[in-house]
Amino acid sequence: MNLPRIVIAGLSGGSGKTLVSLGVVRALARSGLAVKPCKKGPDYIDAWWLALAAGHPATNLDPYFLDAPMLRSLFWTQCGLAGDGARTDAAPGPSWGEQPGLPGPSVPYDLAVIEGNRGLFDGRDLSGSSSTAELARILGAPVVVVMDCTKMTRTAAAIVSGLRHFEQGVHIAGVILNRTAGPRHRGVLRETIEHYTDVPVLGILPKIADNPIPERHMGLVSGMEHEACVAGLDRVADIMAEHVDLHRLRQVACAAPPPQGPVANLWSLLPGAAHAAPEGPTPANADQGTDVPHAAPPLRPRIGYVHDAALWFYYHENLLALRHAGAELVRLSLLDDAEWPQLDGLYLGGGFPETLAAPLSANRPALDRLRALSESGLPIYAECGGFMVLGRSIVMDGIEHPMADIFPVRTVFHPKPQGLGYVDAAAVLENPFHPVGATFRGHEFHYSRCVPCDAPSGTSGASGASEASGGAPSVPSALRLTAQSGHVTGMGDGRDGLLLRNTLAAYTHIFAPAVPHWAPAMVRAAREHRMARASKA
């Protein structure tokens, strides 16, 4: 089996590839095609918009997190063409997060559209490792390049020729010319590119006066907050349908070769996967890794995850990994007064809590519930925005908004990024989620800085607490980070992952397939908490 696929790349950031990707995906989906959207790199916002445009969950593909065999397994598994061929992504539509891990419709995808990041060959070093070009080679996907042609004519042909011959194994299958000035400009561009190169021009876009999808400090505005998001996507799709040859684009995608040899299902390669399919419980011996026939199934612990307008940065694969490790997942919100079911664990992702700090702070019952759950010893794992909610307060535009007050820190918002890029993390304290000494890769993107304050009542005698030193909060950090970009990381000096009882909160985002111990460890901790609670009943 095979799947038509293309990579939409740019010459640099800001070339227009995101708008082109969204418009192409939306236009193809409106024509009745089942489009699998993918995003290269650690990006939640573009991935969410791609999922909304397609009506199907997006998959992040990152050569920094996964090696080539694992990337291929991830791609083909989420496209339903690896292992037993069963699709493991969720039901279609922007509400997919409500039922993570449920099989999608039986109809297979018609094609995959993969949006790159930065410039096509931009990587982490001289060899361009982790670049969009490297991903295209790994997946055997032809590349369509979006070029900003502002004040450019014949030079465009030289650039295309250079792209075509720069690296072996990267198939430049077409270009889409962006921000063109008028008919004469477009005619010269097309004529020179097709005369001097063998790369076809698949589309020529005019200058768009205003961005149909507005932006904010971290990129595109969250579609969960913007009422006109669907209208904006449809407007972009109309532009692509008018100015891009979608039929030829599909022909390019259909020319992608089939995978070379069988590709393993991703979940069969991860710890616990053989013991916990999405539809059933894990066997009793899953944690020990032994084979005990006729063993009774273990408890399926209930892990909640907050998914609302404040916290919605979740890799789809992180939720799937928890299900495959044996968890029952429940979607929750911190912005309403709905009752929560009894939980065995809690996962707080990232998002934009700073923009909703006032309503979050006003919902004291929800914040008090978070603190009570932490004090009960519930395993809680929080990333970035979730970390901010668990602190004493969020300071936004000089206004302090009280939060759950689990950790004695304030997170203060700044106009420029305070943490940006990939990090290597090492676990340095015993905790429920990362074995001591374990090393793993993650990433950060936050505009807030963690500022220590006096410890709240009840924390000074907590197990594992330490005296503040060098401006550190009076609870220890469980992770030590090394920034791959040289940028400030974690709390400003490489420390991250505040730990109190069974609550760990960090600026670092993780991608579960690249941190294979995380999901089984969290499920194990949740199961143990449930059993301990039952023994006291």
**Mind telling me the catalytic residues?**
384
Instruction: Find residue 461's DSSP bridge partners.
Output: none
Phi first, then psi: give them for residue 446, nearest 5 degrees.
Answer: -150, 150
Other C-beta atoms lying within 10 Å of the C-beta of residue 204: 20
- The single residue listed with the structure tokens 């044996």 is 326
> Residue 266 and residue 101: Cα distance in Å, rounded?
14
Closest to 156 measured CA to CA, from 198, 182, 193: 193
**What type of residue is 97?**
G
Q: Residues 88-96: contacts with CB within 8 Å, 24+ apart?
A: 88/267, 88/278, 88/320, 89/56, 89/57, 89/59, 89/316, 89/320, 90/57, 90/316, 92/55, 92/56, 92/57, 93/55, 94/51, 94/52, 94/55, 94/223, 96/51, 96/56, 96/57, 96/316
CB 382 within 8 A of CB 392: no
* Dihedral in degrees, nearest 10, Cα atoms 388, 392, 393, 394: -20
Q: Quote the tokens at residue 489.
A: 């990381």
**What is the distance between the alpha carbons of residues 416 and 433, in angstroms, rounded to a whole number?**
31
